[in-house]
Amino acid sequence: MSNRMWGGRFAAGPDAIMEEINASIGFDQRLFRQDITGSIAHANMLAATGIIADADRDAIVAGLAELHGEIEGQKFTFSRALEDIHMNVESALRERIGDPAGRLHTARSRNDQIATDFKLYVRDVIDTLGEQVLALQAALVDRADEEAGTVMPGFTHLQSAQPVTLGHHLLAYVEMLGRDASRLRDARARMNESPLGTAALAGTSFPIDRHMTAEELGFDRPAANSLDAVADRDFVLETLSAATICAIHLSRFAEELVIWSSAQFRFVQLSDKFSTGSSIMPQKRNPDAAELVRAKVGRIFGAFTSLTLVMKGLPMTYSKDMQEDKEVAFDAFDSLSLALAAMTGMVKDMSFNRDAMLAAAGSGFSTATDLADWLVRELNMPFRDAHHVTGAIVALAEKKGCGLDGLTIEDLKQVDERINSKVFSVLSVEKSVASRTSYGGTSPENVRQQVARWRDLLG
């Protein structure tokens, strides 16, 4: 039996294999809201320009509203034989209102229709992800305020480097997420041009008003080139790129939580809500939520790579290859949304072991840079000389099996007789972090200032 949506061009029905590879309704049905919204805007414009009668417009809009309610209420059965969301909606509309439904597709194509639907969907996704990023930032800011004076080791190469404050460390992720939110906003602004009315690829001879549909759908303007409008998937790629970078940031934080929650570190304990046990080892407390967040970047970056490879060799304008844009994007955006929600929950519920952090902050001679800076300031020593002297003092402390603050003044004078007892003012980790008052530094004072700044920015 021929597919009646195709008209008279094809007499035979699709082969089962062709139907299997061609049908997209299994995944693009989630675009029903956007498809119906776009169709209502198109019908309103067709009536306003005199292309269809007002009575037909009224029947179309009422039928689409009824259909929206059925799909929303899960009372609608999608048909694979009708391939995609557009044909399913149009066929169902015809069953409900008859001939007026056949006028809806005037002056448009599935090419501009899917581009419009997908843009509306990605725009909604960006808005949702943006809200989730802000929620995670707010949770981190709250915890940073609580831990503004908590001393912990700062790392380079995962080796103890200099003492920092936990609040400062948490705010580093707030800054990263701020860039993520900015990238999402940029992507939204750049994509906000309407493809609707560009038809298959060349525009239409009907006297349509694309500015009207663009305005009704919340776009800034109609897309200026019909070829580009139906061929463009930059908006998906750019959003997937921003999603990938955001997922990388979440993965880095998740990796730290996995390390910090280990018995070797004991810096943090995740709540029962975000931990699991072992089927064989009763003592285990596994940071599974953090590990799964860490893994999500693979799926999200995979989606970006997949769509990049789909698009890279396509000639103008629309090719069926572009049907492969949706499944990977849907999965990636769902994965990022879930990862953001999980990370926000972990941040709110986790507890920090301040004593373990403080003890670790003093290991590895982490105040050596403070000592070198003191030699420069107090003894007017060139920094490279101070670096050498400090290295000799570290070697002495290592030999004696103590920290820098465990050395006596006599020990220090063995290395350089000009050193005096004032040096002990910089050798504790607490004094080290308190001294880092340069803008962007780790001092508790700075942390509290940045907390206030971020609370103003986040509203």
- Of the candidates 79, 182, 278, 425, the residue annotated as catalytic is 278
SS (H, E, C) 25-49: HHHHHHHHHHHHHHHHHHHHHHHHC
Say which residue the tokens 């050596």 belong to.
368
The C-alpha atoms of residue 73 and residue 32 are separated, in whole angstroms, by 12
DSSP per residue, 17-28: HHHHHH--HHHH
Q: Are 184 and 168 in contact (CB under 8 A)?
A: no
Q: Which position among 157, 205, 351, 421 bears the catalytic label?
A: 157
- Cα 439 to Cα 404: distance, rounded to the nearest angstrom: 27
Regarding beta strands 193-194 and 221-222, do their DSSP bridges make them parallel or antiparallel, or are they unpaired?
A: parallel
278 in catalytic set: yes
CA distances from 143 to 289, 293, 351 (A): 19, 20, 10
Residue 208, both tokens:
């349509």
Q: How far apart are the first and last CA of the chain?
A: 60
The β-bridge partners of 268 are 352
CB neighbour list of residue 358: distance below 8 Å, 6 or more residues apart: 150, 151, 152, 429
- The distance of Cα 406 from the centroid of its chain, to the nearest Å, equals 46
* 432 annotated active-site: no
| Interatomic CA distance for residues 256 and 21, integer angstroms | 43
Give the residue numbers marked as catalytic: 157, 278
